[in-house]
Amino acid sequence: MTSNTFYILINLRTQDGFESFGKYNVGNNRKSATALFRQLKGSHDIDPKTMLTMELEETVNGLPINLQMIACTLEELAYNTKIIVKETFKYLNLKGTR
């Protein structure tokens, strides 16, 4: 049986639509991935002016499923990246003690 994997993707609007240019693997635990995504800054209102988005994606049997998406500014993207790296560092370095 294969396990599902959760990712946070970073997307940038181009003339052809949104292009994904960053992808963080945030593990196999839905609760942890969702809790991490909830810490991120941004708006759930995606409109035609939105330039940057972040989305929580789950892979099921190798197929991606978009779970949540937020629009963010460049400043929010920088903050969000810091949160993702900090939480990933804690998980990878403390997982043996949980």
Instruction: Answer for the pair 88, 95: CB distance below 8 angstroms, yes or no.
Output: no
Give this prediction's pTM: 0.88
pLDDT for the residue 97? 45
37 residue type, one letter: F
H-run or E-run covering 79? helix 74-94
Q: What is the pLDDT of residues 6-65, one digit of tens each?
A: 999 999 999 999 999 999 999 999 999 999 999 999 999 999 899 999 999 999 988 999
3-state SS string for 38-75: HCCCCECCCCCCCCEEEEEEEEECCEEEEEEEEEECHH
CA within 13 Å, CB half, 77: 17
pLDDT for the residue 2? 61
Distance of CA 78 to CAs 3, 29, 59, Å?
30, 24, 25
